[in-house]
């Protein structure tokens, strides 16, 4: 779970006569992730097996038909699955059938569509000519007269007049333009044409027909019949699709499997007599691979484990139980872990729903998110969607749990003093009744001042914890790859620095009295009142100097508590190690980069969004509830329907924001604040030679 | 000078104004930051739909600034409000 699956590098070597057989076995096992080889003097890349040509040709034809039918193997889910023998037995006959039944019909439809387009173009010419009202035979075929027929943007007669008075113009309004027929003597033709061009003349070719109306009705009936024909062909194809979809996709799967098998030589090296396939296999499966290959080839082909330390770059096979597996969608979006790295998916699977729930924390919204996810799961069946929607369900459930803690269901029912539950929530009395076991109060009230203060501190503690954890994991990752010294310089020193920061934050909070005063001022007496280094002070003295900086703050001795006292050496150790790491690289000025420690402070503060995002959505809900209650019931305006519309709309907006924002912010807290400490990524996903069958048994 | 309000009230008022400014100005800053990223993210999404999720994520990165502002305003309100 923590680490990707262990891999070993193996080579499969044998005589070329067995290559095709080995390809079958390897494909069937679906275990070996092939490493793309480099050619050498003796070993060259192989050529595909003979059958590849035929298979790929059939596959191209079939795929073009499938794409016309909009059958996507990724998205389609078969009603029945076929046996390979069934497919092989029917393969040729069925391919022939598809070519004739579907392929030929698709071609026919395409040619009909072209014809249709030509007819429609003709119709577009005839309509305006008909408007002009001059029979087609009069529009062309003159010896001494040049006719211009077409469209212009404005009436050109005055301009033509300037050239010659011997002309004849017929012009009619046609939509935004005019349709026009101009007759002039041949000798004026060129000049008149130039004039017409100024008016945006577009010529129309006059067709060889007798009568417009006859031709138009002829074309219309033809278009009608072609459309009918296309519809008939399409419905026939649709029928085939209904009947044959499962088998078609099974054949496609079979053919693509055959193609992949026959292209194995392209990914391996061959000499005159021998072939070599090199790849990675999960450690636990090596024996299976070895025994099967050697048994089925009578020991002619051998499988060897390679102890290749120089080029050992195994692919990453994420190794997670089902619940955690769903979160791979989110973690691999950031990066795919390298083989030696820790796979952070499992951490995300705990904290993503937790953060989401902490932020949204509302029974009603949580229930809706869960319900929507469950519903969408039945529609979107692809793997990615299923995983994402599962995450939606987990997040929704987390929101319900936190909603119960916060006492929120479509908004809070207790908001400060002076407003009764039924004034701020439509079902306020009911909610208060449910929480009767806690004196009608939520278990954790994040709306009132103490709740905000407490939650702010809790989120900061989560932030410190995650940052430290991140650096610890980073330490481990670097130690595995480059040794402990490097790890201490690169990650360990930051761990110490951030630990120092955490103590400073604790010291600050202690001086504010959060650990010593009873609620609502603090958490109660968690810690003793006199944890001070210089003399016997109490928290009430220290409150005036929360941040005791010698020289800057008067009476700083009062504020120095044990937390500050512990922080000091840590910060010093961090600074020494940091200088040791940076000065050789950057020179003396490298020390300035220590300012980066403040970045981590910022990142700890950044976890306060766990509080902030939630509060904004709480107040949104509260405002809508309060507003609409005022609108709906006297002594306000008694306009109940409007109030309900506003209420629904408001909660809809809040719900959309409530899905988007907590989701994104939770993701961001992982990507930016957590992963950057240890997770480099850049691995290659394990993709074994073989296939998980979907349409075949 | 005639004092119109007491010292406590004055401090409380200033703290409240400060808290408001902290959130408001930080919000403007984050908005400015996000505008550029958002535009680029939309552009990238137009090129490749698959970038959508990552684009949204990039867009929210400057929001931390508002959180800082918010934390400051909380501290002000806790201390003086």
Provide the pLDDT for residue B8. Answer: 85
B5 inside domain: no
Compute the 3-state secondary structure of chain B and give helix, strand, coil in percent, each to the nearest 5. Answer: 90, 0, 10
Query: Can you tell me the distance from the alpha carbon of A3 to that of A31, in angstroms, rounded to the nearest whole number?
Result: 19
Chain B positions touching A605 (Cβ under 8 A) are: 64, 67-68, 71
Are A409 and A403 in contact by the 8 Å Cβ rule? The answer is: yes
Closest CA to A350 of A290, A398, A408: A398
Q: Which two tokens stand for residue A382?
A: 């692809």
Record: contact A452-B74, CB cut-off 8 A: yes
How far A452 CA lies from chain B's nearest CA (Å)?
9
Residue scoring higher pLDDT (A55 or A519): A55
pLDDT in tens, A21-52: 999 999 999 999 998 888 888 888 988 988 88
Query: Can you tell me the distance from the alpha carbon of A681 to that of A691, in angstroms, rounded to the nearest whole number?
Result: 26
pLDDT in tens, A412-469: 988 877 788 888 888 888 988 889 888 888 899 888 888 888 899 999 999 999 999 9
pTM for the predicted model, two decimal places: 0.79
Chain B positions touching A665 (Cβ under 8 A) are: 60, 63
Record: contact B67-A453, CB cut-off 8 A: no
* Separation in Å, CA A14 to CA A41, A45, A286: 19, 15, 17
Record: contact B67-A671, CB cut-off 8 A: no
Overall residue count recorded for chain B in this entry: 81
Residue scoring higher pLDDT (B34 or A593): B34
DSSP A525: S
Q: Which range has the worst mean pLDDT, A82-91, A399-408, A464-473?
A: A82-91
Confidence class for position A177, pLDDT limits 50, 70, 90: confident
B3 inside domain: no
User: Pick from A333, A453, A608: which is nearest to B53 by CB?
Assistant: A333
Are A362 and A398 in contact by the 8 Å Cβ rule? The answer is: no
B64 inside domain: yes
How far B64 CA lies from chain A's nearest CA (Å)?
6
Are A3 and A343 in contact by the 8 Å Cβ rule? The answer is: yes
User: Pick from A609, A667, A671: which is nearest to B67 by CB?
Assistant: A609
Closest CA to A414 of A426, A405, A424: A424
Query: Can you tell me the distance from the alpha carbon of A352 to that of A338, in angstroms, rounded to the nearest whole number?
Result: 22
Residue A382's contacts (CB-CB under 8 Å, 6 or more residues apart) are A74, A75
Closest CA to A362 of A628, A619, A607: A619
Q: How many CB atoms sit inside 10 A of residue A438's CB? A: 12
User: Pick from A456, A606, A664: which is nearest to B64 by CB?
Assistant: A606
Tell me how far apart the terminal alpha carbons of chain A are, to the nearest angstrom. 30
How many domains would you assign to chain B? 1
Provide the pLDDT for residue B2. Answer: 58
Query: Can you tell me the distance from the alpha carbon of A132 to that of A276, in angstroms, rounded to the nearest whole number?
Result: 79
Q: Which two tokens stand for residue A492?
A: 């360990």
Are A99 and A248 in contact by the 8 Å Cβ rule? The answer is: no
Q: Which range has the worst mean pLDDT, A29-33, A301-305, A380-384, A566-570?
A: A380-384
Are A367 and A396 in contact by the 8 Å Cβ rule? The answer is: yes
Record: contact B57-A605, CB cut-off 8 A: no
* pLDDT reading at A308 higher than 70: no
Relative to beta strand A145-152, strand A202-203 is: antiparallel
Residue A172: phi, psi to the nearest 5? -135, 145
CATH classification at residue B75: 1.20.20.10
User: Pick from B57, B67, B78: which is nearest to A453 by CB?
Assistant: B78
B1 inside domain: no
How far B57 CA lies from chain A's nearest CA (Å)?
6
Are A608 and A359 in contact by the 8 Å Cβ rule? The answer is: no
Chain A positions touching B53 (Cβ under 8 A) are: 333
DSSP A676: G
Residue A696: phi, psi to the nearest 5? -110, 155
User: Pick from B53, B56, B71: which is nearest to A608 by CB?
Assistant: B71
Residue A398: phi, psi to the nearest 5? -60, -40
User: Pick from A602, A608, A665: which is nearest to B70 by CB?
Assistant: A608
The H or E element that residue A582 is part of is: helix A562-586
The residue of chain A nearest to residue B57, with distances taken between CA atoms, is A664
Are A129 and A212 in contact by the 8 Å Cβ rule? The answer is: yes
Say yes or no: domain A120-216 is CATH 3.40.50.170.
no
Average pLDDT over residues A604-618: 91
* pLDDT reading at B58 higher than 60: yes
Residue A321: phi, psi to the nearest 5? -70, 165
* Separation in Å, CA B51 to CA A137, A333, B30: 61, 10, 22
Provide the pLDDT for residue A525. Answer: 85
Closest CA to A243 of A104, A94, A110: A94
Chain B positions touching A384 (Cβ under 8 A) are: none
Average pLDDT over residues A270-280: 91
Q: How many CB atoms sit inside 10 A of residue B71's CB? A: 22
Q: Confirm whether the ipTM is greater than 0.85.
A: no
pLDDT in tens, A213-262: 888 888 999 999 999 999 999 998 888 888 888 888 889 999 999 999 99
B66 inside domain: yes
* Separation in Å, CA A344 to CA A417, A449, A671, B20: 44, 36, 11, 39
B34 inside domain: yes
Query: Can you tell me the distance from the alpha carbon of A214 to that of A212, in angstroms, rounded to the nearest whole number?
Result: 6
How far A260 CA lies from chain B's nearest CA (Å)?
27
Record: contact B61-A453, CB cut-off 8 A: no
B2 inside domain: no
Q: How far is CA A543 from the centre of its chain?
A: 49
Chain A positions touching B63 (Cβ under 8 A) are: 609, 665
Q: Which two tokens stand for residue A151?
A: 């469209």
For chain A, domain boundaries: 120-216, 319-409+413-446+641-678, 448-607
Question: What's the whole-number average pLDDT of chain A?
Answer: 88
* pLDDT reading at A595 higher than 70: yes
Print the domain residue range for B25: 11-80
Confidence class for position A189, pLDDT limits 50, 70, 90: confident
Are A505 and A604 in contact by the 8 Å Cβ rule? The answer is: yes
Are B69 and B20 in contact by the 8 Å Cβ rule? The answer is: no
Provide the pLDDT for residue B79. Answer: 75
- Cβ burial, residue A57 (10 Å; 0-12/13-18/19+): exposed
> What percentage of chain A reaches a pLDDT higher than 70?
99
Record: contact B78-A665, CB cut-off 8 A: no
Q: How far is CA A375 from the centre of its chain?
A: 20
Average pLDDT over residues A170-199: 87
Confidence class for position A581, pLDDT limits 50, 70, 90: confident
Overall residue count recorded for chain A in this entry: 697
> What percentage of chain A reaches a pLDDT higher than 90?
35
DSSP A561: B
Are A573 and A496 in contact by the 8 Å Cβ rule? The answer is: yes
Are A400 and A370 in contact by the 8 Å Cβ rule? The answer is: yes
Confidence class for position A309, pLDDT limits 50, 70, 90: low
- Cβ burial, residue A123 (10 Å; 0-12/13-18/19+): middle
Q: How many CB atoms sit inside 10 A of residue A574's CB? A: 22
Q: How many CB atoms sit inside 10 A of residue B59's CB? A: 20
Query: Can you tell me the distance from the alpha carbon of A13 to that of A306, in angstroms, rounded to the nearest whole number?
Result: 12
* pLDDT reading at A492 higher than 90: yes
Q: Which range has the worst mean pLDDT, A446-460, A488-502, A556-570, B49-63?
A: B49-63
User: Pick from A453, A512, A602: which is nearest to B68 by CB?
Assistant: A602
The residue of chain A nearest to residue B64, with distances taken between CA atoms, is A606
* pLDDT reading at B1 higher than 60: no
Confidence class for position A199, pLDDT limits 50, 70, 90: confident
Record: contact A671-B70, CB cut-off 8 A: no
Q: Which two tokens stand for residue A649?
A: 């709309």
Confidence class for position A1, pLDDT limits 50, 70, 90: low
Record: contact B67-A456, CB cut-off 8 A: no
Residue B12's contacts (CB-CB under 8 Å, 6 or more residues apart) are B80, B81
How far A657 CA lies from chain B's nearest CA (Å)?
13
Rounded (10°) CA dihedral A531, A533, A538, A544: -120
* pLDDT reading at A395 higher than 60: yes
Most confident of A364-378, A545-559, A630-644: A364-378
Q: Which two tokens stand for residue A209?
A: 């027909």
């Amino acid at each position: 779970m923590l680490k990707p699956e262990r891999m070993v590098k193996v080579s499969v070597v044998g005589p070329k006569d067995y290559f095709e057989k080995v390809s079958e076995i390897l494909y069937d096992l679906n275990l070996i992730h092939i490493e793309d080889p480099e050619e050498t003097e003796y070993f060259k890349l192989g050529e595909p097996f003979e059958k590849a040509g035929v298979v790929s040709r059939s596959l191209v034809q079939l795929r073009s038909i499938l794409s016309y039918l909009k059958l996507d193997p990724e998205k389609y889910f078969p009603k029945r699955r076929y046996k390979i023998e069934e497919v092989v037995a029917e393969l040729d006959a069925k391919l022939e059938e598809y070519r004739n039944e579907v392929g030929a019909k698709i071609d026919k439809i395409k040619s009909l569509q072209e014809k249709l387009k030509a007819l429609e173009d003709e119709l577009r010419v005839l309509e305006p000519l008909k408007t002009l009202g001059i029979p087609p035979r009069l529009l062309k075929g003159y010896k001494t007269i040049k006719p211009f027929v077409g469209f212009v943007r404005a009436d050109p007669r005055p301009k033509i007049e300037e050239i010659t008075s011997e002309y004849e113009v017929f012009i009619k309004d046609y939509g935004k333009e005019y349709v026009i027929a101009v007759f002039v003597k041949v000798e004026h033709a060129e000049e008149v044409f130039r004039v017409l061009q100024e008016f945006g003349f577009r010529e129309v070719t006059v067709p060889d027909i007798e009568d417009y109306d006859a031709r138009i009705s002829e074309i219309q009936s033809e278009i009608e019949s072609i459309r009918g024909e296309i519809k008939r062909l399409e419905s026939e194809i649709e029928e085939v699709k209904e009947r044959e979809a499962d088998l078609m996709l099974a054949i496609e799967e079979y053919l693509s499997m055959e193609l992949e098998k026959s292209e194995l030589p392209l990914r391996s090296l061959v000499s005159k007599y021998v072939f070599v396939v090199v790849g990675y296999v999960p450690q636990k499966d090596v024996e299976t691979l070895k025994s099967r290959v050697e048994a089925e080839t009578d020991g002619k082909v051998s499988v060897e484990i390679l102890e290749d330390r120089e080029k050992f770059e195994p692919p990453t096979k994420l190794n997670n139980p089902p619940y955690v597996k769903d979160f791979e969608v989110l973690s691999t979006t950031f990066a795919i872990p390298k083989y030696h790295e820790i796979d952070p998916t499992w951490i995300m699977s705990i904290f993503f729903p937790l953060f989401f729930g902490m932020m949204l924390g509302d029974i009603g919204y949580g229930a809706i998110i869960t319900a929507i996810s469950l519903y969408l799961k039945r529609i979107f069946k692809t793997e990615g969607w299923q995983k994402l929607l599962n995450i939606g369900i987990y997040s929704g459930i987390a929101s319900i749990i936190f909603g119960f803690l916060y006492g929120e269901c479509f908004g809070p029912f207790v908001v400060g003093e002076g407003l009764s539950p039924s004034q701020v929530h439509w079902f306020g009395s009911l909610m208060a009744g449910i929480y009767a076991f806690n004196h009608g109060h939520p278990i954790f009230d994040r709306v009132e001042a103490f709740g905000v203060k407490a939650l702010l501190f809790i989120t900061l503690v989560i932030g410190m914890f995650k940052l430290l954890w991140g650096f610890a994991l980073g330490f481990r990752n670097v130690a595995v790859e480059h040794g402990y010294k490097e790890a201490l310089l690169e990650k360990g020193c930051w761990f110490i620095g951030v630990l120092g920061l955490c103590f400073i934050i604790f010291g600050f909070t202690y001086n504010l009295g959060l650990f010593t005063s009873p609620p609502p001022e603090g958490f109660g007496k968690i810690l003793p009142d006199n944890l001070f280094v210089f003399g016997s002070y109490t928290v009430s003295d220290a409150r005036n100097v929360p941040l005791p900086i010698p020289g800057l703050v008067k009476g700083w001795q009062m504020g120095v508590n044990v937390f500050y006292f512990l922080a000091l050496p840590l910060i010093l150790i961090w600074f020494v190690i940091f200088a040791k790491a940076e000065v050789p690289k950057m020179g003396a000025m490298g020390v300035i980069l220590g300012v980066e420690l403040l970045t981590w402070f910022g990142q700890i503060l950044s976890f306060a969004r766990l509080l902030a995002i939630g509060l904004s959505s709480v107040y949104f809900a509260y405002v809508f509830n309060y507003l609409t209650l005022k609108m709906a019931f006297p002594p306000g305006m008694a306009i109940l329907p409007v109030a309900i519309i506003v209420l629904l709309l408001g909660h809809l907006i809040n719900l959309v924001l409530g899905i988007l924002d907590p989701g994104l912010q939770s993701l961001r807290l992982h990507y930016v604040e957590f992963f950057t400490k240890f997770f480099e990524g850049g691995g290659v996903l394990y993709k074994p030679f073989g296939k998980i069958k979907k349409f075949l048994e | 000078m005639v004092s119109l309000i007491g010292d406590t009230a004055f401090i409380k008022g200033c703290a409240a104004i400060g808290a408001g400014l902290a959130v408001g100005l930080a919000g403007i800053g984050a908005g400015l930051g996000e505008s550029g990223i958002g535009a680029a993210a939309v552009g990238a999404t137009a090129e490749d739909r698959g970038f959508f999720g990552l684009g949204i994520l990039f867009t929210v990165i400057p929001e931390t600034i508002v959180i800082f502002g918010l934390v400051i305003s909380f501290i002000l309100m806790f201390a003086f409000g």
